[in-house]
Amino acid sequence: MIDREDMMELTRRMTVTRTSFTRAAGCYMDRDGEMDGSFNVNFLNLSAAEKEKHLAVAKGIPFSASNEKLLSYRFLPEAQKPGGIRQLLLAMRDCSLKNDALLYTFYELVAEAYRRRAHGDYAILLYHDRYDVPVKAKDKVRLGESEEVYEYFICAVCPLTGEYEPGKPVCGFLFPMFSERSTDTDHVAVYESNGGLHGVMWKLLGLCDAPE
């Protein structure tokens, strides 16, 4: 089960003044899964308006209804083998989304999984972050020191509402999971706007049948 407080701890920081996002990347696809442009930029180099737009997209994943539209899944054993999707996600996280070759491989996998659901052009958007998790006492009062660095990224698939203008995410995920205020690389938080159990992300990521 996803602890709502864990997700709120992340989303409270997703504002232009508080964010620690390091990178934004993505691509634009037509309904047939053909790429129509891509980008990969330092988040700090974006204008305030662009930051706000992208933060709204990214925040839509962890801020969604926990354990309803946002569910925690464990990877299947096949997905955890060398060369599996979990290894790709870890490599994307570890390079801070800077390796375009890894990202293009990922985009192709998403496009293949999303092909039957696409009703028009869409964007695959990625956001990388490093969060210095502060130590908190049992009464949740912040003690100040950093307990660990939680490094993660968010993926959002969004229909385009205009030329290169993403709408609200229809599916996506947060990886690794932020669980009990710590990193959990065995699980991924999957978002489906319709709350569907066997949706695009479930198939793409090679996940167990039931959420945990």
pLDDT tens string, the chain, 212 residues long: the values are 899 999 999 999 999 999 999 999 999 999 888 999 999 999 999 999 999 999 999 999 999 999 999 999 999 998 899 999 999 999 999 999 999 999 999 999 999 998 888 889 999 999 999 999 988 744 455 555 667 899 999 999 999 998 899 999 999 999 999 999 999 999 999 999 885 545 788 888 988 877 87
CB-based contacts of 183, cutoff 8 Å, min separation 6: 148, 150, 151, 152, 176, 177
CB-based contacts of 65, cutoff 8 Å, min separation 6: none
Domain boundaries, the chain: 4-205
Q: Which helix (H) or strand (E) holds 145?
A: strand 142-162
> pTM of the full predicted structure?
0.92
